[in-house]
């Protein structure tokens, strides 16, 4: 009986080592992939803006393969999904020129989503000609939900401050 248990343990250990060695994802690769977030974004803001000048505040999403976020079309919300939302609180002397510029979404069944790298969302702004030179702060809020074929993760809600130097 003891011999059979030891033989079984050796067999299981051998199968485990074989799986680790020849499996589709090595432990190092799996760890590397798990360290990268499926969705990330960066801000693009000009270093300096002249008083009276228009400029863009852009958020650029990079979405890993097989992941997506929901576009703000209204259709996704009607189906119970959390659409991407971006809002800005502007200091006096900085105003919006027009609505946020969203890229065209991709159809995904009955949903509309963003996927891939370089998904750029821009808010056109303008500074007053009477704005005094200095550093101004734009407050921003962002909300999105990252999903893949198997699951949707909890929605992300973040706040951040954007510094704009006015000359």
- Cβ–Cβ < 8 Å for 122, 140: no
Sign of CA dihedral 24, 27, 31, 34: positive
Position 36 scores a pLDDT of 73
Say if residues 72 and 143 touch (Cβ distance below 8 Å): no
Task: Give residue 3's pLDDT.
Answer: 45
pTM: 0.76
Architecture of domain 36-166: Sandwich (2.60)
Residues 6+ apart with CB under 8 A from 101: 121, 122, 123, 124
The answer to whether 76 and 70 have CB atoms below 8 angstroms apart is yes
Sorted by where each begins, the domain ranges of the chain are: 1-35, 36-166
pLDDT in tens, the chain (167 residues): 444 445 445 544 444 444 444 444 444 444 444 567 899 999 999 989 999 999 999 999 999 999 999 999 999 999 999 999 999 999 999 999 999 999 999 999 999 999 999 999 999 999 999 999 999 999 999 999 999 999 999 999 999 999 999 99
What distances in angstroms separate CA 29 from CA 33, 36, 40, 66, one per listed residue? 6, 11, 20, 17
Query: What's the chain's length in residues?
Result: 167
């Amino acid at each position: 009986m003891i011999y059979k248990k030891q033989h079984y343990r050796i067999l299981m250990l051998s199968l485990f080592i074989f799986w680790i060695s020849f499996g589709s994802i090595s432990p190092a690769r799996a760890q590397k992939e798990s360290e990268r977030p499926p969705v990330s974004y960066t801000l693009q803001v000009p270093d300096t803006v002249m008083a009276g000048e228009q400029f863009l505040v852009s958020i650029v999403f990079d979405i890993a393969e097989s992941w997506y976020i929901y576009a703000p079309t209204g259709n996704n919300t009607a189906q119970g999904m959390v659409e991407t939302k971006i809002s800005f609180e502007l200091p006096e002397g900085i105003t919006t020129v027009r609505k946020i510029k969203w890229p065209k979404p991709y159809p995904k069944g009955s949903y509309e989503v963003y996927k891939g790298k370089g998904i750029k969302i821009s808010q056109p702004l303008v500074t007053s000609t009477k704005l005094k030179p200095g550093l101004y702060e734009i407050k921003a809020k962002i909300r999105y939900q990252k999903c893949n074929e198997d699951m949707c993760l909890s929605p992300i809600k973040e706040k951040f401050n954007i510094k704009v130097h006015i000359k």
